[in-house]
Structure 1
Amino acid sequence: MRIKNFFIAVLMVLSLAGCKTNPFTGEKNLNFVSNDQLFPAAFAQYDQFLAENNVVTGTAEDRMIKNVGQKIVTAAERYLNANGYQGYLNDFAWEFNLVKDEQLNAWAMPGGKIVFYTGILPVAQTETGVAAIMAHEVAHALADHGAQRMSAGQLQQLVSVAGSVALSGRSEQTQQIFAQAYGLGSQLGVMLPFSRSHETEADRIGLTLMAIAGYNPEEAADLWRRMAAQSQGQSPPEFLSTHPASSTRISNITKWAPEAKAEARKYGVTSFK
Protein backbone atom coordinates (compact mmCIF):
# COMPACT_ATOMS: atom_id res chain seq x y z
CA MET A 1 0.00 0.00 0.00
CA ARG A 2 2.84 2.40 0.81
CA ILE A 3 4.41 1.79 -2.60
CA LYS A 4 1.10 2.36 -4.34
CA ASN A 5 0.50 5.61 -2.47
CA PHE A 6 3.95 6.94 -3.30
CA PHE A 7 3.57 6.23 -7.00
CA ILE A 8 0.10 7.79 -6.98
CA ALA A 9 1.71 10.90 -5.48
CA VAL A 10 4.34 10.89 -8.21
CA LEU A 11 1.68 10.61 -10.89
CA MET A 12 -0.29 13.46 -9.33
CA VAL A 13 2.76 15.70 -9.45
CA LEU A 14 3.47 14.65 -13.02
CA SER A 15 -0.09 15.60 -13.95
CA LEU A 16 0.64 19.12 -12.79
CA ALA A 17 3.46 19.44 -15.31
CA GLY A 18 2.61 21.91 -18.02
CA CYS A 19 0.16 23.85 -15.89
CA LYS A 20 1.50 27.25 -16.95
CA THR A 21 1.86 28.57 -20.49
CA ASN A 22 5.06 30.26 -21.61
CA PRO A 23 3.85 33.50 -23.26
CA PHE A 24 6.79 33.56 -25.69
CA THR A 25 6.66 29.97 -26.93
CA GLY A 26 3.05 29.00 -26.28
CA GLU A 27 4.27 25.78 -24.68
CA LYS A 28 3.08 24.29 -21.40
CA ASN A 29 5.87 24.22 -18.83
CA LEU A 30 6.60 22.24 -15.69
CA ASN A 31 5.72 24.72 -12.96
CA PHE A 32 3.82 24.09 -9.76
CA VAL A 33 5.41 26.90 -7.71
CA SER A 34 3.24 30.02 -7.64
CA ASN A 35 4.51 33.60 -7.74
CA ASP A 36 2.95 34.12 -4.30
CA GLN A 37 5.19 31.38 -2.93
CA LEU A 38 8.37 32.19 -4.82
CA PHE A 39 8.63 35.95 -5.28
CA PRO A 40 8.69 37.08 -1.61
CA ALA A 41 11.49 34.62 -0.82
CA ALA A 42 13.43 35.68 -3.92
CA PHE A 43 13.05 39.38 -3.06
CA ALA A 44 14.32 38.78 0.47
CA GLN A 45 17.34 36.82 -0.79
CA TYR A 46 18.10 39.55 -3.31
CA ASP A 47 18.00 42.27 -0.63
CA GLN A 48 20.29 40.19 1.56
CA PHE A 49 22.73 39.74 -1.32
CA LEU A 50 22.83 43.49 -1.97
CA ALA A 51 23.41 44.19 1.73
CA GLU A 52 26.39 41.82 1.76
CA ASN A 53 28.05 42.97 -1.47
CA ASN A 54 29.55 46.13 -2.94
CA VAL A 55 26.75 47.68 -4.99
CA VAL A 56 27.93 50.32 -7.47
CA THR A 57 25.68 53.40 -7.54
CA GLY A 58 25.68 56.77 -9.22
CA THR A 59 28.20 55.92 -11.96
CA ALA A 60 27.73 56.01 -15.71
CA GLU A 61 27.91 52.22 -15.80
CA ASP A 62 25.26 51.88 -13.10
CA ARG A 63 22.98 54.27 -14.96
CA MET A 64 23.49 52.31 -18.18
CA ILE A 65 22.58 49.02 -16.50
CA LYS A 66 19.37 50.50 -15.10
CA ASN A 67 18.49 52.28 -18.36
CA VAL A 68 19.04 49.21 -20.52
CA GLY A 69 17.12 47.05 -18.06
CA GLN A 70 14.12 49.34 -18.21
CA LYS A 71 14.21 49.40 -22.03
CA ILE A 72 14.20 45.61 -22.16
CA VAL A 73 11.29 45.40 -19.69
CA THR A 74 9.34 47.98 -21.70
CA ALA A 75 9.94 45.86 -24.81
CA ALA A 76 8.71 42.79 -22.94
CA GLU A 77 5.57 44.60 -21.83
CA ARG A 78 4.85 45.68 -25.41
CA TYR A 79 5.21 42.10 -26.59
CA LEU A 80 3.10 40.63 -23.80
CA ASN A 81 0.31 43.18 -24.18
CA ALA A 82 0.20 42.66 -27.96
CA ASN A 83 -0.06 38.90 -27.53
CA GLY A 84 -2.89 38.75 -25.01
CA TYR A 85 -0.88 38.65 -21.77
CA GLN A 86 -1.95 41.96 -20.24
CA GLY A 87 -1.11 42.03 -16.55
CA TYR A 88 1.51 39.29 -16.81
CA LEU A 89 4.08 41.58 -15.16
CA ASN A 90 1.86 42.72 -12.28
CA ASP A 91 3.67 40.64 -9.65
CA PHE A 92 7.15 41.55 -10.89
CA ALA A 93 9.27 44.14 -9.07
CA TRP A 94 12.08 44.91 -11.49
CA GLU A 95 15.42 45.97 -10.11
CA PHE A 96 18.77 46.21 -11.86
CA ASN A 97 21.98 46.53 -9.86
CA LEU A 98 25.67 46.60 -10.68
CA VAL A 99 27.91 44.83 -8.16
CA LYS A 100 31.68 45.23 -7.94
CA ASP A 101 33.03 41.73 -8.59
CA GLU A 102 35.50 40.38 -11.14
CA GLN A 103 33.31 37.42 -12.11
CA LEU A 104 32.17 37.30 -15.74
CA ASN A 105 28.57 36.91 -14.73
CA ALA A 106 25.08 38.36 -14.53
CA TRP A 107 22.02 36.66 -13.10
CA ALA A 108 18.30 37.04 -12.53
CA MET A 109 16.10 35.96 -9.65
CA PRO A 110 12.40 35.21 -9.94
CA GLY A 111 10.25 38.32 -9.99
CA GLY A 112 12.68 40.51 -11.91
CA LYS A 113 15.66 41.02 -9.59
CA ILE A 114 18.82 41.25 -11.71
CA VAL A 115 22.51 41.68 -10.93
CA PHE A 116 25.40 42.50 -13.24
CA TYR A 117 28.96 42.02 -12.06
CA THR A 118 31.49 44.66 -13.10
CA GLY A 119 33.71 41.85 -14.41
CA ILE A 120 31.38 41.18 -17.32
CA LEU A 121 31.31 44.76 -18.60
CA PRO A 122 34.65 44.62 -20.48
CA VAL A 123 33.31 41.59 -22.36
CA ALA A 124 30.01 43.33 -23.09
CA GLN A 125 32.05 46.29 -24.41
CA THR A 126 29.06 48.38 -25.54
CA GLU A 127 25.51 49.22 -24.52
CA THR A 128 24.29 46.73 -27.12
CA GLY A 129 26.45 44.03 -25.52
CA VAL A 130 24.91 44.88 -22.15
CA ALA A 131 21.45 44.72 -23.78
CA ALA A 132 22.16 41.19 -25.08
CA ILE A 133 23.08 40.02 -21.56
CA MET A 134 20.21 41.94 -19.96
CA ALA A 135 17.62 40.56 -22.38
CA HIS A 136 18.84 37.03 -21.68
CA GLU A 137 18.46 37.53 -17.92
CA VAL A 138 15.07 39.24 -18.23
CA ALA A 139 13.96 36.30 -20.38
CA HIS A 140 14.89 33.87 -17.59
CA ALA A 141 12.67 35.81 -15.19
CA LEU A 142 9.75 36.14 -17.62
CA ALA A 143 9.79 32.46 -18.58
CA ASP A 144 9.65 31.36 -14.91
CA HIS A 145 12.83 29.35 -15.23
CA GLY A 146 13.53 29.63 -11.51
CA ALA A 147 10.15 28.16 -10.64
CA GLN A 148 10.59 25.43 -13.23
CA ARG A 149 13.97 24.44 -11.79
CA MET A 150 12.46 24.27 -8.31
CA SER A 151 9.58 22.17 -9.63
CA ALA A 152 11.96 19.81 -11.42
CA GLY A 153 14.12 19.48 -8.31
CA GLN A 154 11.12 18.64 -6.15
CA LEU A 155 9.92 16.11 -8.70
CA GLN A 156 13.39 14.56 -8.87
CA GLN A 157 13.41 14.12 -5.10
CA LEU A 158 9.89 12.72 -5.04
CA VAL A 159 10.67 10.09 -7.67
CA SER A 160 13.84 9.17 -5.75
CA VAL A 161 11.83 8.67 -2.56
CA ALA A 162 9.21 6.66 -4.41
CA GLY A 163 11.89 4.43 -5.90
CA SER A 164 13.51 3.91 -2.51
CA VAL A 165 10.18 2.93 -0.97
CA ALA A 166 9.48 0.54 -3.83
CA LEU A 167 12.83 -1.16 -3.19
CA SER A 168 12.58 -1.13 0.59
CA GLY A 169 12.27 -4.90 0.72
CA ARG A 170 15.28 -5.50 -1.51
CA SER A 171 18.91 -5.89 -0.49
CA GLU A 172 20.98 -2.91 0.61
CA GLN A 173 23.20 -3.39 -2.44
CA THR A 174 20.19 -3.15 -4.77
CA GLN A 175 19.05 0.04 -3.05
CA GLN A 176 22.53 1.55 -3.36
CA ILE A 177 22.73 0.66 -7.05
CA PHE A 178 19.35 2.32 -7.62
CA ALA A 179 20.37 5.46 -5.72
CA GLN A 180 23.61 5.83 -7.65
CA ALA A 181 22.10 5.03 -11.04
CA TYR A 182 19.09 7.27 -10.49
CA GLY A 183 21.21 10.15 -9.20
CA LEU A 184 23.59 10.04 -12.14
CA GLY A 185 20.93 9.28 -14.72
CA SER A 186 18.52 11.99 -13.61
CA GLN A 187 21.31 14.55 -13.46
CA LEU A 188 22.89 13.80 -16.86
CA GLY A 189 19.72 12.72 -18.60
CA VAL A 190 17.18 15.16 -17.18
CA MET A 191 18.39 18.02 -14.98
CA LEU A 192 21.38 19.19 -17.04
CA PRO A 193 19.52 19.03 -20.38
CA PHE A 194 16.62 20.83 -18.66
CA SER A 195 18.98 23.62 -17.59
CA ARG A 196 20.54 23.84 -21.06
CA SER A 197 17.08 24.10 -22.59
CA HIS A 198 16.37 27.09 -20.34
CA GLU A 199 19.56 28.80 -21.47
CA THR A 200 18.68 28.20 -25.11
CA GLU A 201 15.14 29.46 -24.56
CA ALA A 202 16.43 32.59 -22.79
CA ASP A 203 18.81 33.22 -25.70
CA ARG A 204 15.98 33.11 -28.21
CA ILE A 205 13.50 35.16 -26.16
CA GLY A 206 16.27 37.62 -25.33
CA LEU A 207 17.00 38.26 -29.01
CA THR A 208 13.37 39.24 -29.57
CA LEU A 209 13.31 41.52 -26.53
CA MET A 210 16.54 43.33 -27.38
CA ALA A 211 15.35 43.79 -30.97
CA ILE A 212 12.02 45.29 -29.88
CA ALA A 213 14.03 47.57 -27.57
CA GLY A 214 15.95 48.80 -30.62
CA TYR A 215 19.21 46.86 -30.19
CA ASN A 216 20.73 44.80 -32.99
CA PRO A 217 20.27 41.10 -32.09
CA GLU A 218 23.09 40.13 -34.43
CA GLU A 219 25.51 41.68 -31.92
CA ALA A 220 24.64 38.91 -29.44
CA ALA A 221 26.68 36.42 -31.48
CA ASP A 222 29.73 38.68 -31.21
CA LEU A 223 29.18 38.92 -27.46
CA TRP A 224 29.27 35.13 -27.15
CA ARG A 225 32.39 34.95 -29.28
CA ARG A 226 34.09 37.26 -26.79
CA MET A 227 32.72 35.21 -23.89
CA ALA A 228 34.06 32.03 -25.50
CA ALA A 229 37.49 33.60 -25.90
CA GLN A 230 37.51 34.55 -22.20
CA SER A 231 36.55 31.07 -21.02
CA GLN A 232 38.59 29.06 -23.52
CA GLY A 233 39.69 25.74 -22.04
CA GLN A 234 37.69 26.29 -18.83
CA SER A 235 34.26 25.01 -19.86
CA PRO A 236 33.24 21.36 -19.35
CA PRO A 237 31.85 19.28 -22.23
CA GLU A 238 28.33 20.37 -23.13
CA PHE A 239 26.67 17.18 -21.78
CA LEU A 240 28.21 17.88 -18.36
CA SER A 241 27.30 21.56 -18.32
CA THR A 242 24.27 23.60 -17.28
CA HIS A 243 24.85 25.78 -20.37
CA PRO A 244 25.08 24.99 -24.09
CA ALA A 245 28.54 25.09 -25.64
CA SER A 246 29.54 28.52 -26.93
CA SER A 247 29.65 27.19 -30.50
CA THR A 248 26.06 25.96 -30.14
CA ARG A 249 24.89 29.31 -28.78
CA ILE A 250 26.64 31.30 -31.49
CA SER A 251 25.17 29.10 -34.21
CA ASN A 252 21.66 29.40 -32.77
CA ILE A 253 21.87 33.15 -32.27
CA THR A 254 23.14 33.70 -35.81
CA LYS A 255 20.18 31.67 -37.11
CA TRP A 256 17.58 33.39 -34.89
CA ALA A 257 18.70 37.03 -35.17
CA PRO A 258 16.88 37.71 -38.48
CA GLU A 259 13.68 36.30 -36.95
CA ALA A 260 14.07 38.65 -33.99
CA LYS A 261 14.45 41.64 -36.31
CA ALA A 262 11.37 40.60 -38.25
CA GLU A 263 9.41 40.35 -34.99
CA ALA A 264 10.60 43.80 -33.92
CA ARG A 265 9.38 45.32 -37.18
CA LYS A 266 5.84 44.35 -36.15
CA TYR A 267 6.25 46.94 -33.38
CA GLY A 268 7.54 49.65 -35.73
CA VAL A 269 11.22 49.09 -34.96
CA THR A 270 13.11 49.41 -38.23
CA SER A 271 16.59 50.50 -37.14
CA PHE A 272 18.80 48.83 -34.58
CA LYS A 273 21.56 50.17 -32.36
Structure 2
Amino acid sequence: MLKTFSLAAVAAMVLVACAQSPTGRNQIMLFDDSQLSSMGEKTFDIMKAETPISKDAKTNNYVQCIASALLRVTPEKYLTNPWEVVVFDSEQVNAFALPGGKIGVYTGLLNVAENQEQLAAVIGHEIAHVIAGHSNERLSTNQFVQSALALGDAGTKAYGVQYQQEIMTALGLGAQLGVTLPFSRTHESEADIVGLDLMAKAGFEPRQAVNLWQNMAAASSNSMPQFLSSHPIPQNRITDLRAKMPEAMATFNERKKAGRLPNCSR
Protein backbone atom coordinates (compact mmCIF):
# COMPACT_ATOMS: atom_id res chain seq x y z
CA MET A 1 0.00 0.00 0.00
CA LEU A 2 2.76 2.44 0.93
CA LYS A 3 4.56 1.62 -2.30
CA THR A 4 1.38 2.35 -4.26
CA PHE A 5 0.93 5.59 -2.33
CA SER A 6 4.51 6.64 -3.09
CA LEU A 7 4.07 5.94 -6.80
CA ALA A 8 0.85 7.95 -6.81
CA ALA A 9 2.60 10.84 -5.07
CA VAL A 10 5.38 10.83 -7.66
CA ALA A 11 2.80 10.71 -10.47
CA ALA A 12 0.96 13.66 -8.96
CA MET A 13 4.18 15.66 -8.76
CA VAL A 14 4.92 14.99 -12.44
CA LEU A 15 1.40 16.10 -13.43
CA VAL A 16 1.67 19.46 -11.68
CA ALA A 17 5.28 20.15 -12.77
CA CYS A 18 4.14 22.44 -15.57
CA ALA A 19 6.85 25.10 -15.41
CA GLN A 20 10.52 25.17 -16.36
CA SER A 21 13.42 26.97 -14.73
CA PRO A 22 15.94 29.04 -16.74
CA THR A 23 18.15 25.93 -16.95
CA GLY A 24 15.29 23.78 -18.29
CA ARG A 25 14.51 21.96 -15.05
CA ASN A 26 10.86 21.00 -14.40
CA GLN A 27 9.28 22.85 -11.48
CA ILE A 28 6.17 22.66 -9.31
CA MET A 29 4.48 26.07 -9.32
CA LEU A 30 1.23 26.36 -7.34
CA PHE A 31 1.21 30.10 -6.54
CA ASP A 32 0.73 33.09 -8.83
CA ASP A 33 3.17 36.01 -9.07
CA SER A 34 0.89 38.46 -7.26
CA GLN A 35 0.72 36.18 -4.21
CA LEU A 36 4.48 35.83 -4.07
CA SER A 37 5.05 39.56 -4.63
CA SER A 38 2.69 40.42 -1.77
CA MET A 39 4.53 37.99 0.53
CA GLY A 40 7.90 39.44 -0.49
CA GLU A 41 6.81 43.04 0.05
CA LYS A 42 5.37 42.31 3.49
CA THR A 43 8.49 40.41 4.54
CA PHE A 44 10.72 43.24 3.32
CA ASP A 45 8.70 45.87 5.19
CA ILE A 46 9.11 43.86 8.41
CA MET A 47 12.87 43.54 7.86
CA LYS A 48 13.22 47.27 7.25
CA ALA A 49 11.35 47.96 10.46
CA GLU A 50 13.41 45.54 12.53
CA THR A 51 16.93 45.84 11.06
CA PRO A 52 19.01 49.05 11.02
CA ILE A 53 19.45 50.49 7.53
CA SER A 54 22.84 51.88 6.51
CA LYS A 55 22.94 55.64 6.08
CA ASP A 56 26.41 55.65 4.56
CA ALA A 57 25.97 57.27 1.14
CA LYS A 58 29.14 55.79 -0.34
CA THR A 59 28.20 52.23 0.63
CA ASN A 60 24.64 52.66 -0.63
CA ASN A 61 25.81 54.09 -3.96
CA TYR A 62 28.29 51.23 -4.37
CA VAL A 63 25.67 48.52 -3.78
CA GLN A 64 23.06 50.34 -5.90
CA CYS A 65 25.55 50.68 -8.78
CA ILE A 66 26.24 46.94 -8.84
CA ALA A 67 22.60 45.94 -8.45
CA SER A 68 21.49 48.33 -11.21
CA ALA A 69 24.07 46.94 -13.64
CA LEU A 70 22.80 43.40 -12.99
CA LEU A 71 19.12 44.33 -13.18
CA ARG A 72 19.64 45.93 -16.61
CA VAL A 73 20.46 42.49 -18.08
CA THR A 74 17.61 40.54 -16.48
CA PRO A 75 14.90 39.02 -18.71
CA GLU A 76 12.42 41.50 -20.20
CA LYS A 77 9.76 40.56 -17.64
CA TYR A 78 11.90 42.06 -14.87
CA LEU A 79 13.26 45.15 -16.64
CA THR A 80 10.25 47.26 -15.70
CA ASN A 81 10.02 45.81 -12.20
CA PRO A 82 10.29 48.60 -9.57
CA TRP A 83 13.22 47.05 -7.71
CA GLU A 84 14.10 48.35 -4.28
CA VAL A 85 17.65 47.88 -2.98
CA VAL A 86 18.36 48.36 0.73
CA VAL A 87 21.69 48.07 2.56
CA PHE A 88 21.20 46.75 6.08
CA ASP A 89 23.71 47.77 8.74
CA SER A 90 24.50 44.32 10.11
CA GLU A 91 27.55 42.09 10.49
CA GLN A 92 25.75 39.25 8.71
CA VAL A 93 27.66 38.01 5.67
CA ASN A 94 24.59 37.73 3.51
CA ALA A 95 22.27 39.20 0.89
CA PHE A 96 18.85 38.24 -0.42
CA ALA A 97 16.25 39.03 -3.07
CA LEU A 98 12.50 38.58 -2.62
CA PRO A 99 9.60 38.30 -5.04
CA GLY A 100 8.16 41.73 -5.66
CA GLY A 101 11.55 43.19 -6.53
CA LYS A 102 13.17 43.55 -3.12
CA ILE A 103 16.94 43.24 -2.62
CA GLY A 104 18.73 43.38 0.71
CA VAL A 105 22.50 43.47 1.26
CA TYR A 106 24.11 43.31 4.69
CA THR A 107 27.19 45.43 5.29
CA GLY A 108 28.99 42.39 6.73
CA LEU A 109 29.08 40.92 3.22
CA LEU A 110 31.33 43.77 2.10
CA ASN A 111 34.07 42.41 4.35
CA VAL A 112 34.11 39.14 2.38
CA ALA A 113 33.20 40.30 -1.14
CA GLU A 114 36.45 42.16 -1.84
CA ASN A 115 35.48 44.00 -5.04
CA GLN A 116 32.55 44.88 -7.28
CA GLU A 117 32.77 41.58 -9.15
CA GLN A 118 32.54 39.46 -6.02
CA LEU A 119 29.61 41.46 -4.70
CA ALA A 120 27.98 41.15 -8.14
CA ALA A 121 28.35 37.37 -7.85
CA VAL A 122 26.31 37.39 -4.64
CA ILE A 123 23.66 39.88 -5.75
CA GLY A 124 23.39 38.15 -9.13
CA HIS A 125 22.88 34.85 -7.33
CA GLU A 126 20.06 36.35 -5.25
CA ILE A 127 18.36 37.96 -8.26
CA ALA A 128 18.60 34.57 -9.98
CA HIS A 129 16.49 33.03 -7.20
CA VAL A 130 13.69 35.45 -8.12
CA ILE A 131 14.07 34.95 -11.88
CA ALA A 132 13.96 31.17 -11.46
CA GLY A 133 10.86 31.28 -9.22
CA HIS A 134 12.56 29.41 -6.41
CA SER A 135 10.32 30.88 -3.69
CA ASN A 136 7.26 29.66 -5.56
CA GLU A 137 8.81 26.26 -6.10
CA ARG A 138 9.85 25.91 -2.46
CA LEU A 139 6.42 26.87 -1.14
CA SER A 140 4.73 24.63 -3.69
CA THR A 141 6.97 21.66 -2.88
CA ASN A 142 6.43 22.09 0.86
CA GLN A 143 2.69 22.21 0.32
CA PHE A 144 2.83 19.09 -1.83
CA VAL A 145 4.93 17.21 0.74
CA GLN A 146 2.61 18.17 3.61
CA SER A 147 -0.44 17.08 1.61
CA ALA A 148 1.19 13.76 0.69
CA LEU A 149 2.17 13.06 4.30
CA ALA A 150 -1.34 13.91 5.49
CA LEU A 151 -2.77 11.45 2.97
CA GLY A 152 -0.28 8.81 4.07
CA ASP A 153 -1.14 9.34 7.71
CA ALA A 154 -4.86 9.03 6.96
CA GLY A 155 -4.25 5.93 4.86
CA THR A 156 -2.18 4.08 7.47
CA LYS A 157 -4.77 4.86 10.16
CA ALA A 158 -7.69 3.82 7.95
CA TYR A 159 -6.12 0.45 7.17
CA GLY A 160 -4.95 -0.13 10.74
CA VAL A 161 -1.30 -0.40 9.69
CA GLN A 162 0.94 -1.68 12.48
CA TYR A 163 3.62 0.77 13.71
CA GLN A 164 1.73 3.61 12.02
CA GLN A 165 3.45 6.33 14.06
CA GLU A 166 6.92 4.94 13.36
CA ILE A 167 6.17 4.70 9.65
CA MET A 168 4.96 8.32 9.46
CA THR A 169 8.03 9.53 11.37
CA ALA A 170 10.25 7.72 8.86
CA LEU A 171 8.27 9.16 5.94
CA GLY A 172 8.65 12.65 7.39
CA LEU A 173 12.42 12.26 7.69
CA GLY A 174 12.55 10.80 4.19
CA ALA A 175 10.66 13.79 2.83
CA GLN A 176 13.07 16.17 4.54
CA LEU A 177 16.25 14.44 3.32
CA GLY A 178 14.87 13.24 0.00
CA VAL A 179 12.87 16.24 -1.19
CA THR A 180 13.03 19.44 0.83
CA LEU A 181 16.79 19.79 1.38
CA PRO A 182 17.87 18.53 -2.07
CA PHE A 183 15.46 20.97 -3.68
CA SER A 184 17.12 23.74 -1.72
CA ARG A 185 20.56 22.63 -2.86
CA THR A 186 19.24 22.47 -6.42
CA HIS A 187 18.00 26.03 -6.09
CA GLU A 188 21.34 27.24 -4.77
CA SER A 189 23.31 25.53 -7.51
CA GLU A 190 20.93 26.82 -10.18
CA ALA A 191 21.11 30.36 -8.80
CA ASP A 192 24.92 30.15 -8.95
CA ILE A 193 24.79 29.33 -12.67
CA VAL A 194 22.07 31.84 -13.59
CA GLY A 195 23.81 34.47 -11.47
CA LEU A 196 27.12 33.77 -13.22
CA ASP A 197 25.42 34.43 -16.55
CA LEU A 198 23.91 37.67 -15.23
CA MET A 199 27.24 39.01 -13.98
CA ALA A 200 28.94 38.14 -17.28
CA LYS A 201 26.22 39.89 -19.29
CA ALA A 202 26.48 42.92 -17.00
CA GLY A 203 30.25 43.12 -17.54
CA PHE A 204 31.52 41.79 -14.22
CA GLU A 205 34.50 39.42 -14.53
CA PRO A 206 32.95 35.95 -13.96
CA ARG A 207 36.09 34.29 -12.55
CA GLN A 208 35.71 36.45 -9.46
CA ALA A 209 32.69 34.30 -8.52
CA VAL A 210 35.12 31.48 -7.76
CA ASN A 211 37.25 33.82 -5.65
CA LEU A 212 34.13 34.90 -3.79
CA TRP A 213 33.25 31.35 -2.79
CA GLN A 214 36.82 30.68 -1.77
CA ASN A 215 36.53 33.69 0.55
CA MET A 216 33.19 32.39 1.82
CA ALA A 217 34.72 28.99 2.56
CA ALA A 218 37.54 30.61 4.50
CA ALA A 219 35.07 32.70 6.51
CA SER A 220 32.71 29.81 7.23
CA SER A 221 32.88 27.46 10.20
CA ASN A 222 30.05 25.26 8.87
CA SER A 223 31.16 21.63 8.74
CA MET A 224 27.70 20.08 8.26
CA PRO A 225 27.69 17.22 5.70
CA GLN A 226 26.24 18.38 2.37
CA PHE A 227 23.41 15.83 2.36
CA LEU A 228 22.08 17.41 5.58
CA SER A 229 22.60 21.00 4.43
CA SER A 230 20.33 23.29 2.48
CA HIS A 231 23.33 24.71 0.61
CA PRO A 232 26.03 23.02 -1.47
CA ILE A 233 29.44 23.03 0.15
CA PRO A 234 31.68 25.80 -1.29
CA GLN A 235 34.00 23.38 -3.11
CA ASN A 236 31.06 21.86 -5.00
CA ARG A 237 29.84 25.33 -5.92
CA ILE A 238 33.29 26.22 -7.19
CA THR A 239 33.47 23.03 -9.28
CA ASP A 240 30.10 23.79 -10.89
CA LEU A 241 31.05 27.40 -11.56
CA ARG A 242 34.32 26.41 -13.20
CA ALA A 243 32.45 23.99 -15.47
CA LYS A 244 30.32 26.91 -16.75
CA MET A 245 33.17 29.41 -16.82
CA PRO A 246 34.15 29.12 -20.54
CA GLU A 247 30.66 30.13 -21.62
CA ALA A 248 30.51 32.94 -19.05
CA MET A 249 33.93 34.26 -20.08
CA ALA A 250 32.87 34.30 -23.74
CA THR A 251 29.87 36.45 -22.81
CA PHE A 252 32.03 38.72 -20.65
CA ASN A 253 34.69 39.16 -23.35
CA GLU A 254 32.05 40.28 -25.84
CA ARG A 255 30.91 42.90 -23.36
CA LYS A 256 34.51 43.90 -22.69
CA LYS A 257 35.24 44.36 -26.39
CA ALA A 258 32.28 46.70 -26.58
CA GLY A 259 33.86 48.73 -23.76
CA ARG A 260 30.79 48.47 -21.56
CA LEU A 261 32.10 47.46 -18.15
CA PRO A 262 30.68 48.69 -14.83
CA ASN A 263 32.81 50.89 -12.63
CA CYS A 264 31.32 50.82 -9.15
CA SER A 265 33.66 52.18 -6.51
CA ARG A 266 33.34 51.87 -2.74
Same fold (TM over 0.5): yes
Partner Cα distance (2:89, 2:240) in 1: 31
Q: Taking structure 1 as reference, are residues 10 and 25 closer, same or farther at Cα in structure 2, changes over 3 Å only?
A: closer
Q: Give 1:83's aligned residue.
A: none
1:263 corresponds to which residue?
251
Question: Counterparts of 1:6-155 in structure 2 under 5 Å?
Answer: 14-17=14-17, 19-22=18-21, 24-76=22-74, 80=75, 86=76, 88-89=77-78, 92-155=81-144
1:10 positional shift:
8.7
TM-score by length of 1: 0.85
Q: Distance in 1 between matches of 2:246 and 2:11?
A: 42
Q: Which runs of 5+ in 2 are unaligned?
A: 1-6
Identity across aligned pairs (percent)? 36
CA gap of 1:53–1:175, structure 2 versus 1, over 3 A, is same
1:12 CA displacement = 5.4
Between the aligned partners of 2:11 and 2:189, the Cα distance in structure 1 is 28
Is 1:245 aligned to 2:233, yes or no? yes
SS in structure 2 at match of 1:182: helix
Retained in 2: the 8 A contact 1:35–1:91? no
Give the letter aligned to residue 253 of structure 1: L
The amino acid across from 2:225 in the alignment is P
C-alpha contact 1:99 1:118 (8 A) present in aligned 2:
yes
Q: Give yes or no for the alignment of 1:188 onto 2:177.
A: yes
Q: SS of 1:38's equivalent?
A: helix
Any idea what the Cα deviations from partners look like across 1:27-84, whole Å, max 9, x if unmatched?
A: 33211111022111211221121122101134211111111111101111xxx3xxxx
**Deviation by residue 1:178-228 (Cα, 9 ceiling, x = unmatched):** 221111111111111110010000000111100111101100101111110
Q: Where does the alignment leave 5 or more consecutive residues of structure 1 unmatched?
A: 1-6, 81-85
**Aligned-pair CA distance for 1:239:** 0.4
Query: How far is 1:108 from its partner?
Result: 1.6
Equivalent residue in structure 2 for 1:254, among 217, 237, 242:
242
1:115 Cα deviation after fit: 0.9
Which amino acid letter does the alignment assign opposite residue 188 of structure 1? L
Structure 1 segments of 4 or more deviating over 6 A?
A: 7-10
- Residues 265 and 128 of structure 1, relative CA distance in 2, 3 Å threshold: closer
TM-score (norm 2): 0.87
